Structure 1
Amino acid sequence: MPQRDTAPPRLRPGCSVFTIEGRGTALRDTDGLMFDIALPEEAIRGALTGADGAGPEVLAAFRNAGHLGARATWPEDRARVVVLADESAQLCAALHAAGAEPVAAPADSTAPDILERRPAAVCAWSDGPAPRSWLELDALVDHGVAWQRASREGRHVLVEPVAGDVRHSDVVARRLAAAGSGHHHLAEFWAQHGAGRALHGDEGADAADLALVVALLVADLRAWALGSRAGESAFAEPLPPSRRLRVVGLDTGAISDHPVLPVPASAP
């Protein structure tokens, strides 16, 4: 017969138990909220370390309040991620370490080619302005595939929402509208880069830049895979990855988040 796991229950990652002198035992929960608990520290520590004589009522109280559990793992039904990037090795390694099942594909893959691999999500990275082919890959969303993109413009990286209903075409339209009178400059910058006519400085992503981009992409995709959990928190609730355009300054490390909504269909 297989041996029964006798390891004691663990606090959920993010939970901590500590003592305030003259006041008693306190707890920090996963949302960063802190409060007193009406249980003696010895009983709590005994229950969570498997010490003899620890009462089951202590564990029941923690379990019912949602303070016991293990680190969340990447769901199997969302694990396969097709990676479109010239530098795919680092991104694939990070996704694998996070629990996903990455599959590298040529950066110029078409939607039918990608769909043959049966992905739950597609992650694309361009070390330069977004290629026009990403507009065609918006069709992935119609097949239930999450569609994630990040591109570099100069020394800034744009991490687009994990679509969802906010597609690459929506981001393009929203950025042109936000540019105001400068939208002609932005459109021409994209066009001349795509045609190979624009001149650039020495601005490509180095190893440190790429590590930052990879970490942000994997964090967003993992948040999508695990699903969001809204609730009271000691910290400001972030914009969900499906509604957020993130701009990263590679030279400053500054990260700014901007809400993005789909562009509604309109009559011609």
Structure 2
Amino acid sequence: MFLISKVFWIVFQPLAFACLSILLALLMLLSGKTGFGLFFIATALVILVVTLFTTTGTFLMAALENRFSRLESTTPPVCAIVLGGGIHTGHSAERGTYVFTRAADRYIETLRLARLYPDMHILITGGDNGLSGSLHGEAEPAARFFIDHGIDGHRLILESKARNTAENASKAARLLDENGIKGRCLLITSAYHMPRAIQLFEKQKVTVTPWPADYRTGGKAGLRFQFDRPATNATMLSTAMREWSGLIAYRLMGRTKTVLP
């Protein structure tokens, strides 16, 4: 299933699919099938316009990010579960340090909470989610980051094999049980990723308090043309579509109870 999801996204992410449509159009035109050729050209054009010059991605991202907010409580959390994705595993391994991705706020927010709650455990789960599987996970560079910033290494629980969110949840559940951690646990991941993550942890019978981080939108977004930010628009739509695809796929496979909780 992991391999299928990777191949699916390589083909169907917006810009890749637009390129594929152009290639199919050329093949159709060269073979004399003008009607099919024009159809694929039109398909590619529509995808490119929507991807590069509209706020569709921002609109879809905001819908995901607004589902959960941080629930403050007077009860200190006993653990923070941090989902991988905030550290570039390849660059970190090559450079011998921690190289952050755009989702670095997952770790920055966890560090803030770790200082606020000195007895809170930190469970970091995230392996190499590439097709090769040859790189180290996020556990080692993440541990180095927290220790470098004054967090006692004994508070850290590390998991470096999970390749996707479902494996994050199952492996984290096992580690919580093995370490006898019971009580209020915060789930820290990107806000747009929280709807899928929260359901997968519930499926593992792990009760978590959502603590979204790494916001990509301001929360309010409408659909309109936007011609001055094509690269940003493309990134937003690609990220949003990947997450929505994951939500739908997990629901169809029975891994979650609903598409959008």
User: Is TM (by shorter chain) over 0.5?
Assistant: no
TM-score with structure 2 length normalisation?
A: 0.26
Higher relative contact order (CA 8 A, sep 6+): 2
Select the structure that is richer in helix: 2
Given the two structures, how large is their TM-score scaled by the length of structure 1? 0.25
